[in-house]
Amino acid sequence: MQKKKTVLDFQRMKAEGERIAVLTCYDYPTAAIMDGCGIDIILIGDSAGVVVAGYDNTLPVTMDEMIYHTKAVMRAQPKAFVVADLPFLSYQIDLAGARLNAGRLIKEAGAAAVKIEGGVNIAETIAAITAMDIPVMGHIGLTPQSLHRMGGFKVQGKSEQQAEKLLEDARAVERAGAFAVVLEGIPMGLAGKITAELSIPTIGIGAGPSCDGQVLVLHDILGLCSKYSPKFVKRYAELTPVIAEAVSSYIADVKGGTFPEERHSFK
Ligand code: KIV
């Protein structure tokens, strides 16, 4: 039987060169499926706001929405390690607010860890949360909550100066006590450099193959998000036409009177 994953596994996996597979997840049925497949980490990303709720970006996502999605995932009793995102405005105001909201994701929703976007600027917050014995996953590079500062969803760390800043961010996140760090939308050479320097695992998304693990958004790999398709996504299925065909067949059956049949009915 599969053993429950803990933070200790990811340290060992980095040391042994075993890659860490991470996917986002927002509900009970997909949590049960991916857990059965042996995913290492389930991330309840605030990308839920885009791929589930249909917002243009992650900024409107609330704590209550993150708690709702995390609780749904936890009902699948995953063996995977579960990390939940702290949404915009849930950790930036003050340390007390950040600690309270991180604690809510653990206590109310059942996550094992939280993820926070930011580097040097957020290191004190990471330290405050890890001081409560809540494991923190950092997230640097293309941080979607910083959309307006970045001027769009743009690759970060391309210039020497930006790359040096990202190295500083990575070091700050590690020093603050994070157990892992997501590297999003950065050149693969820089991701390799950060991965080699840090003792905590790096989880890449649009950061090339040298990271200790990879994360993608579930709806992207399943072909369920037609709004956008970043270069770094690999589609493993095209579910949109599959769902459309099933729904169309149902509509045709209902209109044509061929559903329900006797076997779907009670005597
Ligand atoms: O919100 C999210 O899904 C994320 C991952 C893509 C890293 O932050």
pLDDT for the residue numbered 225: 81
The string of DSSP letters for 170-231 reads: HHHHHHTT-SEEEEES--HHHHHHHHHH-SSPEEEESS-TTSSEEEE-HHHHTT---S---T
Ligand 1 pocket, residue 24 CB under 6 Å: yes
Domain enclosing residue 168, as ranges: 7-236
pLDDT for the residue numbered 228: 73
Segment 110-168, tens digit of pLDDT: 999 999 999 999 999 999 999 999 999 999 999 999 999 999 999 999 999 999 999 99
Nearest to 44 by CA among 108, 124, 120, 133: 108
Question: At 36, which CATH number?
Answer: 3.20.20.60
- Structural domain includes residue 2: no
End-to-end CA distance of the chain: 43
- Structural domain includes residue 177: yes
180 and 265 housed in the same domain = no
Distance (Å) from CA 118 to ligand 1 centroid: 13
Average pLDDT of the residues in 196-213: 98
Distance (Å) from CA 138 to ligand 1 centroid: 11
- Structural domain includes residue 201: yes
Nearest atom in ligand 1 to the alpha carbon of residue 215 is: 7
Split into its structural domains, the chain has a count of 2
Ligand 1 pocket, residue 45 CB under 6 Å: yes
Ligand 1 pocket, residue 220 CB under 6 Å: no
pLDDT for the residue numbered 34: 98
Helix axes 123-130, 160-175, angle to 10 degrees: 20
262 a catalytic residue: no
Distance (Å) from CA 218 to ligand 1 centroid: 10
Q: Which helix (H) or strand (E) holds 166?
A: helix 160-175
Q: Which helix (H) or strand (E) holds 81?
A: strand 81-85
Average pLDDT of the residues in 57-73: 98
163 and 220 housed in the same domain = yes
Instruction: Give the separation between CA 95 and CA 122, rounded to whole angstroms.
Output: 10
260 and 132 housed in the same domain = no
pLDDT for the residue numbered 83: 99
185 and 261 housed in the same domain = no
- Structural domain includes residue 169: yes
Q: Which is catalytic among the residues 184, 238, 245, 261?
A: 184
Distance (Å) from CA 262 to ligand 1 centroid: 46
Instruction: Work out the burial of residue 57: count CB atoms within 10 Å of its CB; fewer than 13 is exposed, 13-18 middle, 19 or more buried.
Output: middle
Minimal-distance CA residue to ligand 1 atom 1: 45
- Structural domain includes residue 1: no
173 and 267 housed in the same domain = no
175 and 76 housed in the same domain = yes
CB neighbours of residue 167 within 10 Å: 18
- Structural domain includes residue 39: yes
Distance (Å) from CA 213 to ligand 1 centroid: 14
What percent of the chain has a predicted confidence (pLDDT) above 90? Answer: 97
260 and 173 housed in the same domain = no
Task: Report the phi/psi class of residue 185: left, alpha or beta, with left for phi > 0 and alpha for psi in -120 to 50.
Answer: left
**All residues at 6 or more sequence positions from 147 whose CB lies less than 8 Å from its CB, including other chains:** 57, 58, 59, 153
Nearest atom in ligand 1 to the alpha carbon of residue 216 is: 6
At residue 264, what are phi and psi to the nearest 5 degrees?
-95, 5
Q: Which residue has the tokens 């949360």?
A: 129
Segment 223-249, tens digit of pLDDT: 998 777 789 999 999 999 999 999 999
Residue 1 scores a pLDDT above 80: no
22 and 143 housed in the same domain = yes
Minimal-distance CA residue to ligand 1 atom 4: 45
Ligand 1 pocket, residue 85 CB under 6 Å: yes
pLDDT band at 96 (very low <50, low <70, confident <90, very high): very high
**All residues at 6 or more sequence positions from 184 whose CB lies less than 8 Å from its CB, including other chains:** 139, 140, 141, 142, 143, 144, 204, 205, 206, 207
Distance (Å) from CA 146 to ligand 1 centroid: 13
228 and 263 housed in the same domain = no
pLDDT for the residue numbered 199: 98
Instruction: Give the separation between CA 40 and CA 37, rounded to whole angstroms.
Output: 9
Ligand 1 pocket, residue 182 CB under 6 Å: yes
- Structural domain includes residue 33: yes
Ligand 1 pocket, residue 215 CB under 6 Å: yes
Question: SS3 for 246-259, per residue?
Answer: HHHHHHHHHHHCCC
Segment 170-180, tens digit of pLDDT: 999 999 999 99
Minimal-distance CA residue to ligand 1 atom 2: 45
Nearest to 139 by CA among 169, 109, 94: 169
- Helix, strand, coil shares of the chain, percent, nearest 5, are 45, 15, 40
225 and 250 housed in the same domain = no
Ligand 1 pocket, residue 217 CB under 6 Å: yes
Mean pLDDT (the chain) is 97
227 and 257 housed in the same domain = no
252 and 138 housed in the same domain = no
- Structural domain includes residue 57: yes
Which of 137, 146, 184 for a ligand 1 pocket mutation test, highest count of atoms within 8 Å of Cβ? 184
